[in-house]
Amino acid sequence: MAFNKDLLDILACPKCKGDLELTQKEDGLICHACELVYPIQEEIPVMLIEEAVSLDKWPQTNAG
């Protein structure tokens, strides 16, 4: 089972409350305002600021 894309309508960046975008490989959620990626592990987004990865350090930074 893949990440439920309907969640993008209700999820927001925990840092700035902005919109999130799914990475091309569907392994993270990008906040362009904060330049952070929240990883998706076992189909569950990890929405903790301390677990977010800087957008420039995210290995698969290919936004959909």
Does 62 map to a domain?
no
* Across 5-16, average pLDDT: 94
Instruction: Report whether pLDDT(2) > 80.
Output: no
Q: What is the pLDDT of residue 60?
A: 57
CA–CA separation, 34 and 13 (whole Å): 8
Q: Look at residue 26 and tell me if it is in a domain.
A: yes
Task: Label residue 4 left, alpha or beta by phi (over 0 means left) and psi (-120 to 50 means alpha).
Answer: beta
Whole-number pLDDT of residue 4: 84
User: What's the structural domain count of the chain?
Assistant: 1
Q: What is the pLDDT of residues 14-63, one digit of tens each?
A: 999 999 999 999 999 999 999 999 999 999 999 999 999 999 999 854 44
Q: Which residues contact 5 (CB under 8 A, 6 or more apart)?
A: 22
The domain that contains 12 carries what CATH number?
2.20.25.10
